[in-house]
Amino acid sequence: MNKHIDLKVVISLAIIVALGPAAIDMYLASMPIMAKDLNTSYATTQITLTVFLVFMGLGQLIFGPISDAIGRKVPLLIGLVAYTGASLWAAWAQSIESLIFARVLQGVGASMAIVVVMSTVRDLVDGPKAAQLYALLNTIVALGPIVAPAIGGSVGAHYGWRGVMLVLAVLGIAVFINALINIKETLPEEKRVKLNIKNIMRIYMNILKNKTFLLNLLALSAVFFFLFAYIGGSAYVYQNDYGLSSQQFGFVFGLTSISLILGATSTAYFVKKTTATRLALIGAIIMIFGSALCIVTYFLEVGLVGIVSGIALGLFGLGILEATLMAIAMDSQNTSLGSSAALLGAFPLLISSTATPIAGQLVEISTLHWLILLGAMGPIILGLVYLGSKGNQAYNIVAKL
């Protein structure tokens, strides 16, 4: 197994994974305009986000085992073609129903690409090296919430939400060309698993029987629920309750996301010094402090700056958790890595898809209800991370410098 990966490959993997966040973050600021343009409600436009998350999750459960059977590159390229085609469909959608179906296909395309990337990492490296690479990928991917809302807000202001979808299509084409040139097949034929439905179900059940994998999967799902509850409510709170414009929202949303990069970056460094499980516990505690700060500053009437500060602290902890939990769970598996990556990609997205409509309902009641939802996730995450760390003996090692 390789100890070093070419930087071009790392960057190529990162921009593939970034397609998912881009399809979420770029059009958030345009959702109120989209609702008016398609003659529907804001709540209905939230369905376009929910179905994207659901099918990006479900798709990984299907395409993870397929990538274990036929290799990584072919499913990757097919996924990128589907993503690009769906983006073009969305740009020309004339009804909310058509847009929803386009987002379904877009989610499926993204799922194929993302599950291949997560599997490819473990094809190439394992242990702390994998944790470092996941952290590095998350650092690069975390640029998405910084750059995407700003680009999406600017494109949306000049060309509307359809312009945003066209930008996603252009991005899909660029990523396809790059993958075709720079991504090589990483799963040799002798390591491939025969594909059949009974075999798939057996593989998934065997993976879930692993306590370390299961508990870290649940913890990662709770982390994603927090993230998408934040994403689902922030546009409404920032623009309706605190009077930000769509471009100002994109700027604040992106600025806050810098802390996510800092969390992922610090993980890549500290995983060389301590265990991944200890880092995960630290990340969970930081998330609790961040969400508590949001609620305290709300009662003290500090204003938007108080809420944004608490969210930034929570996202710093989230950046630590996302990389470490993924690495710990994946390192508990030695075979069927595509299926393992599929579960880690699918289950958190399926759980978090419920967060956006819940957050959308709560923000219409009050900002406090939304903040309480975010605050409730902290102790749940900490409890799951602690339980997961109890059975995780194999991974309590420090990467060699």
Q: Does residue 1 lie within any of the structural domains?
A: no
Q: In Å, what is the CA distance from 94 to each residue of 68, 82, 215?
A: 38, 20, 43
What range defines the domain where residue 224 resides?
7-182+198-390
The per-residue pLDDT for 282 is 92
Q: Does residue 190 lie within any of the structural domains?
A: no
Q: Does residue 2 lie within any of the structural domains?
A: no
Residue among 148, 164, 177, 65 at smallest CA distance from 111 = 65
Give the chain's end-to-end CA distance (angstroms, integer).
18
Task: Please give the Cα distance from 341 to 333 (Å, whole number).
Answer: 10
The per-residue pLDDT for 397 is 38
Q: Does residue 400 lie within any of the structural domains?
A: no
The per-residue pLDDT for 401 is 30
The per-residue pLDDT for 173 is 95
Other CB atoms within 10 A of residue 194 CB: 7
The segments of the chain whose pLDDT lies below 70 read 1-4, 126-128, 130-132, 135-136, 138-146, 335-336, 338, 391-401
Reported as a single tens digit per residue, the pLDDT across 301-328 is: 898 999 999 999 999 999 889 878 888 8
Residue among 227, 234, 225, 243 at smallest CA distance from 363 = 234
The total number of structural domains in the chain stands at: 1
Q: Does residue 157 lie within any of the structural domains?
A: yes
**Is residue 132 within 8 Å of residue 119, measured between CB atoms?**
no
**DSSP letters spanning 232-272:** HHHHHIIIIIS---HHHHHHHHHHHTHHHHHHHHHHHHHTT
The per-residue pLDDT for 155 is 85
Run of H or E including 13: helix 7-17
- Give the CATH number, domain containing residue 13: 1.20.1250.20
Residue among 391, 397, 384 at smallest CA distance from 216 = 384
Task: Please give the Cα distance from 13 to 257 (Å, whole number).
Answer: 20
Q: Does residue 189 lie within any of the structural domains?
A: no
Q: What angle do CA 145, 148, 150 make, to 5 degrees?
A: 105
The per-residue pLDDT for 158 is 81
The per-residue pLDDT for 395 is 45
The per-residue pLDDT for 58 is 86
Q: Does residue 191 lie within any of the structural domains?
A: no
